[in-house]
Structures are given as C-alpha cells and as structure tokens.
Chain A
Amino acid sequence: MVIIQAYLDLPVSLELLVLLVNSALVAATLALLVKLSLALSARPGERLVEQVRSLERSVVSSVSVLKNTLERLVSANMNLLSAMEARVKEMDLVARRVSERVDSGFAQIRSALASAPASAEVVERLEDLDCVIRDDGLLVYGSYDEKLVAYLTQALRVLESVGFEGLEISRGGSVLHVGRLGELGGRVVYCLKESQRPVRFDARKILSELGGVIGGGAEG
C-alpha cells in the first residue's frame, strides 16, 4: 500500500488513466465475450445442441438396434444350439441302438461260429442221405420232391461252371443241404439232405458206397 501510494503520488493522473483504459478494455472484452456468447447460444448453439441431440438420438437408436440385433443373434444361436443339441442326442440314441444291434449280431455270429464246428453233422453213408441225383436230373438213390429236383438240377448245371462244391437252400422252415460228390459213370452226382444242423458230406465214402451199389467208376 505504501508503494502504491507513493507511485500515485508521482504520476497520479497518468496512472489513473492507464487504469481506466485497462478497466474499459477489460469491460469491453467482457461485453464482447458475453455478446458473442449470447449470439452463439442464440442461433448456432441451438443447431449444435439439436445436432448433438440428434446425434445422441441416432447413437442411442443405433445402439438399440445393435443391441436388438445382438439379442436376436444370441437368441438364434441359442435356438440353433438347442436344435443341434437335440439332433446330437437323437444321433447318439440311434448310434447306441445300432451299436447294440451290431453287438447282438456279432454275438450271434460268434455263437454260431463257436458252435458250428462242434455241431456240424458229418454224413458218410448213403442211408443218411435223402437222395442222390445225377446232372441229368434223374434220381440215383432215394427219393425227393420231383419238382424241386428237376429245377435244382437246372441250377446246379449253371453252378457247375463256377466251381460249385456245396449249397444250402432254406425251404419251408427246413434247410436242404446239397453237396457235390464227384463223377460217377461219366455223370456228375450230387447228394441232398435236409437238416437243421450244418452238414458236411464225406464225398469219397459216399461215392465209394454208391459205386458199389449202382456200379460205375467213381471219379470224385
């Protein structure tokens, strides 16, 4: 305060003028700023606010759309996942059933294979056969359904060309086993036997016995 007073004491009027000018400039600047501010807030400000609000609305709308889209996407994915899960469960069930059936089939095959050699019936005598036929369809020994023998001979003639050795025919709940015995008197002879069990023919013994009964050299 002492210094100011001292200063004022010397060029008082000049300093006061400078102070006044400075104050006026400050006031003018302030007034101009207020005016500018008011002017800005009166017109462009409104647009700016409106634009900002519009932008905000747009952003909010976009965000809402995006949110909805995301929700739908999630929902769709959930449905898809549910459907896939159901399908997978279904397939799993089917696979399990197939697996069970295959296992059952394998068990039956294993059982059949295991029991086959043990239960296979070996036929080596004429009297154990139902009949013996020639490749001209005539019965050489025994008797059997005439019609079946006639058409069976026709089939055997075809099979003969592909190296036929044996045949099984399921018929009316029984199984007819057909074996190729060999040649007798220039004719191929076959034997027939009905049996539920697997049958193996001892062609050499049967043909030998047959040759003794009807004559003719066995060429099995």
Chain B
Amino acid sequence: MVEERRAEVKRYEEVVERIIQGSYGQVERCVVASEDGLPIASYGNPEEVNEVIAAIAAPLFAATQDVIKNLEDTKVLRIDVELANSKHLVIVPKATSIVAVLSRPRPNLGLIYYLLEAVTEPTPDEEEGGK
C-alpha cells in the first residue's frame, strides 16, 4: 500500500515537471491535489500557497462537476478562472485527482491547455486500472 502510494506520488511529480518544463515560463504554480484537497505534488514557493490552491481547486472542480452532471449529464473537462491581475487558474481532472495551474499574467493559454491536455491523458497503466 505504501509502495503504491509512493509510485503514485512519483508519477504526479513527473506530471508537474512535464508541465513546468513545457510551459516556457507561462506557469507560475502547478499543484496535483487529491479529491479531498490535499496536495500530492507541486511546484512553486511558498508551499503554503500550493496547499491553499489544492484546497480551493479540488472542491471547486468537484462541485462544478456535480452541478454539470445534473444539468447536462456530462463531464467537466476544464475549469478556467480568469483573475483580475490577468492570471488564470486552470483546473483539469487527472484520474481521481485534479491538476491546478496558476499562470503568469496574460499567459499563452493555448500552450497551457495543450500541456494540461497532454499530461492528463490516461496512461496505459491508468487505463488498465480503470477497467
């Protein structure tokens, strides 16, 4: 059980690393959070802010998902919150967790969406686990 947990954390750390490396500075913070709002892997200092983002993003996505499920009977693929300082908080699901990204001001959203889409595609292991 502990080994599985470690492997999961390592996998999410790699996800965060891929997003940061591919973003060319467009991403200031990246957090992978569990359903209950706890950070599993993150990038950006101070760490406390990442914990706050995880605590906000996970319930926000879950609540939106529930509402949309009732309204449209479909899934939410992405939530993009535009802030007054031109930054964006983008949240996407990744298996049973969520990936939240806080961008720099006036970001290349196309690149952020592309990166999130690429890393959140289920891996073969995840697909097998889901069956």
Contacts and interface: CB of A to CB of B under 8 A. Distances in A.
B111 A154 contact: yes
Contacts of A153: 108, 110-111
Interface in A111-151: 133, 135-139, 146-147, 149-151
Q: Which 7 A-B pairs have the closest CB atoms?
A: A137-B110, A150-B114, A150-B111, A137-B108, A150-B110, A136-B109, A153-B108
A47 to B, nearest CB: 103
Contacts of A147: 114
Nearest to B26: A154
A157 B109 CA distance: 12
Interface in B74-131: 106-115, 117
B114 to A, nearest CB: 4
Contacts of A137: 108-114
Contacts of B26: 154
A133 B113 CA distance: 14
Main secondary structure of the interface of A (DSSP, over half): helix
7 contacts: A133-B110, A137-B110, A137-B111, A138-B110, A146-B114, A150-B108, A153-B111
Contacts of A154: 24, 26, 108, 111
Looking at B107, B110, B115, which has the most chain A CB atoms within 10 Å of its CB? Answer: B110
Main secondary structure of the interface of B (DSSP, over half): helix
Interface of B: 24, 26, 106-115, 117
Give the interface size class of chain A. Answer: 10 to 19
Given A136-B106, A137-B111, A154-B26, 7 more contacts: A136-B107, A137-B109, A138-B109, A150-B110, A150-B115, A153-B108, A153-B111
A39 B24 CA distance: 116
A56 B113 CA distance: 105
A138 B107 CA distance: 11
A186 to B, nearest CB: 10
Nearest to B25: A154
A151 to B, nearest CB: 7
Nearest to B115: A150
A96 to B, nearest CB: 50
Contacts of A150: 108, 110-111, 113-115
B108 A136 contact: yes
Contacts of B110: 133, 136-139, 146, 149-150, 153
Contacts of B113: 137, 150
Nearest to A152: B110
B75 to A, nearest CB: 20
Looking at A138, A150, A157, which has the most chain B CB atoms within 10 Å of its CB? Answer: A150
A146 B108 CA distance: 13
Contacts of A151: 111
B124 to A, nearest CB: 21
Nearest to A139: B110
A154 B114 CA distance: 12
A210 to B, nearest CB: 18
